[in-house]
Structure 1
Amino acid sequence: MFKSNGKSIWCVLPISWLFVEGVIAKESALWNADHEGIIDQPETIYKVFFPNELLARQAAISFHGQLLETDYKSGYMIMELTNEDKYKLKVYGFTFESAEQWVAERDRKLQAIQQQLKQRKILSERGERHVLMSGIPGYPCYQTVEETFQAAEAFTKNYPTLAEWLDVGNSWEKAAGKGGYDIKVLKLTNKNAKELKPILFANSAIHAREYTTAPLNLAFARHLLEGYGEDADATWILDHHEVHLMLMTNPDGRKKAESGHYWRKNTNQNYCGATSSNRGADLNRNFSFSWNTVSGGSSGNSCNETYRGSSPASEPEIKAIESYVRNLFPDRRGPDNDDAAPLDTMGLHLDIHSYSELVLWPWGTTRNTAPNGMQLQTLGRKFAFFNGYMPQQSIGLYPTDGTSDGISYGELGVPAFTFELGTQFFQSCSTFESKILPDNLAALIYAAKVVRAPYMIPSGPDVTSIKINNDFSAQRSSQGIPVTLSASVTDTRFSRRNGTEPTQAISAAEYYINVPPWKKGATAVPLQAVDGRFDEKTETVSGIVDTSELPVGKHMLYVRSQDADGNWGAVSAIFLPITNEPNINYCKAESINSSDEWISKVQVGQFIHTSGASHYSDFTELKTGKTIPLMLGRNEVTLTPDFAGRAYGEYWRIWIDFNRDGDFADSGEMVFDPGSSTTTTQRGVITVSSNAIIHQEENIKTRMRVVMRYKDAPSPCGRFSYGEVEDYTVEIRSK
């Protein structure tokens, strides 16, 4: 393979295929059902027993289009196979049984989903509240195409300086004038932070039936946006990096799969018949780089699940993603097959799939190691540390071609990885929420941290925890009081499955205040090993932060460490709030759901604050630098709700902690209670009596809590179903 004028040209040579662990060798001239004149036999669903788990995961790569379900513990996979497929598996020791019971259970589930769809339509027509964001039938944790798009649009309204929803192309049905969807990207970054920012691009749901993929990407976006200003890592990632998420890469096909069908491809009616349930192209065999270059790497049969399409990038969905990726990343890889991208290459591409519990990197067309193979392997093992998956090169029992890593790594030199989530296409919500989501969210956060130098940073140590402590509080510090910063750092966070990575002792650690290490003007402050010397692969480090020159407000402490080979690892951060107020720990209050209704605007006198949806928002002076001036006597207040759909009756209350004792339970501290709910703006008066000032100073600052709750009267503490809680700092002025 070599590149010419930006295009990839492949030369296909005979390849010797080796069984795992080198037990058996077999030449590549295997019977290929996609040769001219040979037509695939009808497919049959089998229970396929594998000789060992490693071969099973290899088969999951090469026969991903035939997979339906896997039970690794019981030693079998459910696959839809032709006789040719069976032959290819049989030579590796796979055996086959009828899967009649599985088929019957699948049909039962499909029938139940169809019934739920009918019931949902009836309820929706009645305007029932609980079906407005109901998810895929039978799988409420997975958003539909429409719900995914609505959530992304809501992000742009709620976080206008952090989120954009970009139209980058069309699905096949939309391009053909048959309905369909836009191909859209959710771009996340702080628009007000102007600098050259490295980019993480992650696409999901390119295969329609892979339920977990788009919800994971959407949850990742929600974590970053809701965490901005609250979570230090989420904040600096959005300030200094960009995250681009193509949530629904194949929305037409995804819509088919939402009805319970194991739909994989897009819905191109020019392939396999306009009404066939086997129509369409496999979008992950349609990428232009390496398209149809390897014998058996994809199918030429338009009814096959791995049909490659009529030509390279023939499908509008792939045209959209290739064009977008080329605009994101410069070409940093040379024209020859063995040309490596420079180690300082910025950017990262993740293609989120399910299933098989794998982390994969190039090449998938050959067993040869990619020119950046060592660096790809290091990062892959780092990802696998977080999600527990098997890290390996993406070649399986047989090769694949025309896949997503071709555009990013093959053409441009940007590191590219595929995550294969979980063990089923229609994974249960309990498994997704308890295992797949938290494990892979951690991997995505790490990816967003290292995009500045993904070929170098993963070799370095990680910061696993950071704490700040002083004599007053672990949450904030009074101005001028020294703060102890402590952290744990380690060079050991690599998966030990399928090989090991070299690790070294920690040699140094340092922190930076407000300016990260890669920016001009950054000042490193060394941290010391708590045990007195750097000689272990895991160390606890600490240092003293001088706060005497830090103004009141919230500051960022960036921490990183270095190993004995000179590798600096990923940055982690913590907020250091500096205040001149006494520290008070207030009770927690939040809603469980703010997607349908939220506090849009709070106006007290001339003070106006607008915001988007959140379960709880801290708008106190320490967070925003702003206070609400309150005069003794009457202060007019206007409270405005907002809604995703129809308006609901909302009950409002306001409390002020006049005596600054950390609660809102004292007499007179509930200062606003209209006594009933309303669907519109609530207006009234906050009255502050002279008894409110109980200290000697002329003016006092304290906390005000605003609670909006659906239907019922709220309390100042605790959780409730629908609505929002917002906290503010008020300054009570005597004149």
Structure 2
Amino acid sequence: MDRRLAHAPVAIATCLCSLLITGHRLAGPPVPAQPAEPTVAPGLPWAYLPIVLSAPDDLLYVRAYFSDRNMLDALGEYTDLNETEVNLDESYVVLEITPAQKIELEELGLRVIIDEALMAQAREFRGGEVGVNRIPGYACYRTVEETFDAARQIVTQHPNLAEWIDIGDSWEKTQNPARGYDLMVLRLTNRAIAGSKPKLFIMSGLHAREYTPPELAMRFAEHLVANYGLDPDVTWMLDHQEVHLLLQANPDGRKQAEAGLPWRKNTDNLFCSNTNTRGVDLNRNFSFLWNTCQGGSCGSDNPCSIVYRGPSASSEPETQAIQNYLRAQFADNREPPLNAGAPLTTSGVMIDLHSYGQLVLWPYANGATPANNDGFLALGDRMAYYNGYDPRQGSGLYLHDGVSDDFAYGELGVAAFTFELGTSFFQNCASFERGIYEGNLRALLYAAKVARAPYLLPSGPETILLTASPASVTPGAPVQLSATVDDGRMKQGLKPAHAIADARYTIDTPPWQAGATFIPMTAGDGAFNSVSERVVATINTTGLAAGRHIVYVQGRDAQGNWGPVGATFLTIEGPVTPTPTLTATPPTPPTPSLTPTSTSTPTPATPTSTPTRTPTPGNTIFADDFATDKGWRVNPARTDRAVSGQWERGRPQATAYSRWAMQLGAASGAFDLVTGPLAGTAVGQHDVDGGVTSVRSPAIALPTLVAGQNLTLKLSYYLAHTANSSADDFLRIKIVGNTTATVFEELGATHYDAAAWTQLNINLNAFAGQTIYVLIEAADLSRPSVVEAAVDDVVIQVE
């Protein structure tokens, strides 16, 4: 939806549109052409260059250079350049124009050069066969038809979790039922559990040329159904909440974009008829605050403009269908005055996915401050922690009106956001897989976690890294419950982080339901006094029925804010009495993804639970200082995508960026596990780049334990990165046993983090009696940055 002037190049740009002038420049003295940087008097009236429905081969993709912001503003005022690529760092805009228009721009004093990379991309599009099952050059993105087929398959395979709902028609279908598309919503929830549930509504594809959003939304749906019954958080979210996904909000326009056209609007042929600039910008057509601002990126009254707002508010069938569906799903919780707020207890989240800009945005787009601003700040910053984007109000760069999130919040009081994904409309697949998908998947999962109270829960700490140890016990046996409660997981710290003050857990009944029994937890270090605390408790399983239970953990900060719950499974062994339940049946295997994801990564053959003798305290089960090769295996699942900085047992050479150490010598001895041991000629030459690198230990047989004993994994580690890192970058440690669990994670951030060896102690009681592998992953998945990681002195010990 492009609510900003971009600072980085994109893959394709939009066309110039004619306003009132038909081929003649507006009055004004001509500017002498100059071979280098032209200068233009501020405010000079620029020409509207007429465009007709040209054959694609007639069009050029060019860079037009400007000398100052006044020159850009003057050009933008007359050509809607706010919606094309604008590279402020290198002072050019990218345009799609005809050869004649290129000559006119040069006569006006602009230096114009053809962008050969974009021309090659356009030729690839034109040479490809476009159909229902192929977008030339973009194999990772599904067409409208493929998206709908994938959604229908989810419903077929998971009828107890999924429903496919027709909410209206596209413009083409309103004109001819044999053409166009139905607007379809995929609704996900455990349908066996009745009652009113909080909702997360996700919309994608409102702007046709933005390839990334529908694919992200589709994969989010696939992630949820694939992990229901396996991931405790996904399970409770679908049991007690609903997720609604409008996967293709503008299918008519999307078909134009799938053919390579930089199409943004719907295809309404009543406006700027029979041209490639026809239609209405659906994200300037929503009724709330429609036609209330001028200039910037506000809706235009020019039918050929790419931001044409339409002849009236919600004039388009797509907009009407979306508004009606939102009204049906969410109660009206906000009074009409612009400065009125929704009650803090309002439930529900709406997210509109767009491209591009790496932003998390919230209302109002016209510059007014919403009454629920504190809630928007907190939730926006929490989600931005995961995708690494900049969180800000929608008007932060310039004004716009008639947009979807303003409608959802302004009319209904829903906590509404827009994500601007990535760096391009036609984002290449490598960038999507490497730097967009995973971080935004996790941001959407967080949004689902807080959908019950989005103006309250993000102000409290997040609960992560939960373990119940052992995870399966006989009735009456004690279970050690552990979790990390963290109030500092924010991208920019828009709201202050506070020390943790309390933590509690419930079993089977979630904290928000009547009848929940709250059991306190204690700080692992003995005192609640830090922003991040490990919290512990011993679960008394006496009286728990045989079968699987879910344990909910929730933390509170020193300001009294309870955060969202985290969950883990606990199984009580013994015969289960067959009784009717309200839980959905486990899912069938998911639809194969177009690319490997963490949920389908192959793992070693299932380790067996081999009885071993009872160990004595202090007994070392495994130790490796990497002085010799003990059989660690790099890329064990053969799914790694890192192109450099792969894990290696090596003798590391120290590197630094300015005053920040990026790579250190081994913690002990001469060798360690490191992401590329060589220093190279530059600090970033051998660091992690291009994706994930993984390394797995040899098989380790863990003993069974007796009361009072603990299994502990000890190691030294560091994760170092430069300030252009993000939460997409990470170091993770997983234990692969009868189940796979992430037992440690450190994420990148937008500040320098120097390498410094740190001692880590991890409880492995949940894996006692199993044969396990230690799996270590590091990744550079965001924009190019220096990322280094190392591990040394790995010890597993009975204590």
Q: Normalising by structure 1, report the TM-score.
A: 0.66
Q: Which moved more, 1:507-516 or 1:368-377?
A: 368-377
Q: Check the 8 A contact 2:267/2:278 in 1, yes or no.
A: yes
What is the alpha-carbon distance in structure 1 between the residues aligned to residue 530 and residue 258 of structure 2? 51
What is the alpha-carbon distance in structure 2 between the residues aligned to residue 541 and residue 362 of structure 1? 36
Q: 2:129 aligns with which of 117, 122, 127?
A: 117
Q: Which residue of 2 aligns with 1:255?
A: 255
Secondary structure at the counterpart of residue 128 of structure 2: helix
Alignment of 1:151-170 (within 5 A): 151-170=150-169
Alignment of 1:372-521 (within 5 A): 372-470=372-470, 475-496=471-492, 500-521=494-515
Q: Which residue of 1 aligns with 2:294?
A: 295
Q: Which residue of 2 aligns with 1:284?
A: 283
Q: Which residue of 1 aligns with 2:333?
A: 332
Q: 1:78 aligns with which of 87, 94, 114?
A: 94
Q: Which residue of 1 aligns with 2:113?
A: 100
Q: Which residue of 2 aligns with 1:350?
A: 351
Secondary structure at the counterpart of residue 448 of structure 2: helix
Q: Which residue of 1 aligns with 2:362?
A: 361
Secondary structure at the counterpart of residue 243 of structure 1: strand
Q: Which residue of 2 aligns with 1:535?
A: 529
Secondary structure at the counterpart of residue 516 of structure 1: coil
Distance 1:65 1:221, change over 3 A: farther
Distance 1:298 1:96, change over 3 A: farther
Alignment of 1:44-59 (within 5 A): 46-47=63-64
Q: Which residue of 1 aligns with 2:148?
A: 149
Q: Which residue of 2 aligns with 1:608?
A: none
**Percent of residue pairs bearing the same amino acid type:** 45
What is the alpha-carbon distance in structure 2 between the residues aligned to residue 513 and residue 48 of structure 1? 63
Residue 42 (structure 1) aligned with residue 49 (structure 2): yes
Distance 1:523 1:47, change over 3 A: farther
Q: Which residue of 2 aligns with 1:651?
A: none
**What per-residue deviation string (whole Å, max 9, x for no partner) do you get for residues 111-161 of structure 1?**
21232216xx6xxxxxxxxxxx95522111111000000001111100001
1:65, distance to aligned residue in structure 2 (A)? 7.1
Distance 1:332 1:40, change over 3 A: farther
What is the alpha-carbon distance in structure 2 between the residues aligned to residue 446 and residue 48 of structure 1? 41
Q: Check the 8 A contact 1:68/1:424 in 2, yes or no.
A: no
What is the alpha-carbon distance in structure 1 between the residues aligned to residue 543 and residue 95 of structure 2? 65
1:265, distance to aligned residue in structure 2 (A)? 0.4
Secondary structure at the counterpart of residue 100 of structure 1: strand
Q: Which residue of 2 aligns with 1:322?
A: 323
**What per-residue deviation string (whole Å, max 9, x for no partner) do you get for residues 185-235 of structure 1?**
011111111122011111101000000000011111111111100011111
Q: Check the 8 A contact 1:271/1:280 in 2, yes or no.
A: yes
1:565, distance to aligned residue in structure 2 (A)? 0.5
Secondary structure at the counterpart of residue 537 of structure 2: strand
1:595, distance to aligned residue in structure 2 (A)? 7.7
Q: Check the 8 A contact 2:501/2:528 in 1, yes or no.
A: yes
Q: Which residue of 2 aligns with 1:26?
A: none
What is the alpha-carbon distance in structure 2 between the residues aligned to residue 239 and residue 72 of structure 1? 47
Residue 577 (structure 1) aligned with residue 571 (structure 2): yes
Q: Check the 8 A contact 1:469/1:484 in 2, yes or no.
A: yes
Residue 552 (structure 1) aligned with residue 564 (structure 2): no
Residue 311 (structure 1) aligned with residue 312 (structure 2): yes
Q: Check the 8 A contact 2:226/2:589 in 1, yes or no.
A: no
Residue 183 (structure 1) aligned with residue 183 (structure 2): yes
Distance 1:555 1:97, change over 3 A: farther
What is the alpha-carbon distance in structure 2 between the residues aligned to residue 161 and residue 331 of structure 1? 29
What is the alpha-carbon distance in structure 2 between the residues aligned to residue 352 and residue 96 of structure 1? 38
What is the alpha-carbon distance in structure 1 between the residues aligned to residue 204 and residue 144 of structure 2? 12
1:64, distance to aligned residue in structure 2 (A)? 8.9
Q: Check the 8 A contact 1:34/1:299 in 2, yes or no.
A: no
The one-letter code sitting in structure 2 at the alignment partner of 1:163 is A
Residue segments in structure 2 that go unaligned for 5+ positions in a row: 6-17, 27-45, 51-60, 99-107, 576-587, 607-700, 702-737, 739-799
What is the alpha-carbon distance in structure 2 between the residues aligned to residue 512 and residue 349 of structure 1? 29
1:73, distance to aligned residue in structure 2 (A)? 7.7
**What per-residue deviation string (whole Å, max 9, x for no partner) do you get for residues 8-41 of structure 1?**
xxxxxxxxxxx9xxxxxxxxxxxxx989999981
Secondary structure at the counterpart of residue 230 of structure 1: coil
What is the alpha-carbon distance in structure 1 between the residues aligned to residue 278 and residue 440 of structure 2? 32
Distance 1:80 1:383, change over 3 A: farther
1:316, distance to aligned residue in structure 2 (A)? 0.4
The one-letter code sitting in structure 2 at the alignment partner of 1:423 is T
Q: Check the 8 A contact 1:45/1:98 in 2, yes or no.
A: no
Q: Check the 8 A contact 1:557/1:576 in 2, yes or no.
A: yes
Q: Normalising by structure 2, report the TM-score.
A: 0.61
Q: Which residue of 2 aligns with 1:207?
A: 207
Secondary structure at the counterpart of residue 392 of structure 1: strand
What is the alpha-carbon distance in structure 1 between the residues aligned to residue 267 and residue 415 of structure 2? 30
Superposed CA RMSD in Å reads 3.6
What is the alpha-carbon distance in structure 1 between the residues aligned to residue 111 and residue 505 of structure 2? 61
Alignment of 1:616-695 (within 5 A): none
The one-letter code sitting in structure 1 at the alignment partner of 2:313 is P
The one-letter code sitting in structure 1 at the alignment partner of 2:347 is M
Q: Which residue of 2 aligns with 1:269?
A: 269
What is the alpha-carbon distance in structure 1 between the residues aligned to residue 323 and residue 89 of structure 2? 38
Q: Check the 8 A contact 1:362/1:394 in 2, yes or no.
A: yes
What is the alpha-carbon distance in structure 2 between the residues aligned to residue 51 and residue 478 of structure 1? 74
What is the alpha-carbon distance in structure 1 between the residues aligned to residue 89 and residue 472 of structure 2? 49
Q: Check the 8 A contact 1:46/1:96 in 2, yes or no.
A: no
Q: Check the 8 A contact 2:378/2:494 in 1, yes or no.
A: no
Q: Check the 8 A contact 1:49/1:96 in 2, yes or no.
A: no
Q: Check the 8 A contact 1:463/1:560 in 2, yes or no.
A: yes
Q: Check the 8 A contact 1:70/1:423 in 2, yes or no.
A: no
What is the alpha-carbon distance in structure 2 between the residues aligned to residue 358 and residue 256 of structure 1? 26
The one-letter code sitting in structure 2 at the alignment partner of 1:574 is T
1:70, distance to aligned residue in structure 2 (A)? 6.7
1:77, distance to aligned residue in structure 2 (A)? 5.5
1:433, distance to aligned residue in structure 2 (A)? 1.2
What is the alpha-carbon distance in structure 1 between the residues aligned to residue 134 and residue 538 of structure 2? 49
1:105, distance to aligned residue in structure 2 (A)? 2.8
1:428, distance to aligned residue in structure 2 (A)? 1.3
The one-letter code sitting in structure 2 at the alignment partner of 1:101 is I
1:184, distance to aligned residue in structure 2 (A)? 0.7
Secondary structure at the counterpart of residue 117 of structure 1: coil
Distance 1:96 1:346, change over 3 A: farther
Tell me the number of residue pairs that the alignment of Structure 1 and Structure 2 aligns: 526
What is the alpha-carbon distance in structure 2 between the residues aligned to residue 548 and residue 284 of structure 1? 56
Q: Which residue of 2 aligns with 1:193?
A: 193
Residue segments in structure 1 that go unaligned for 5+ positions in a row: 1-18, 20-32, 83-94, 122-132, 582-589, 597-612, 621-660, 662-702, 704-735
Q: Check the 8 A contact 1:46/1:81 in 2, yes or no.
A: no
What is the alpha-carbon distance in structure 2 between the residues aligned to residue 460 and residue 469 of structure 1? 26
The one-letter code sitting in structure 2 at the alignment partner of 1:312 is A
The one-letter code sitting in structure 1 at the alignment partner of 2:498 is Q
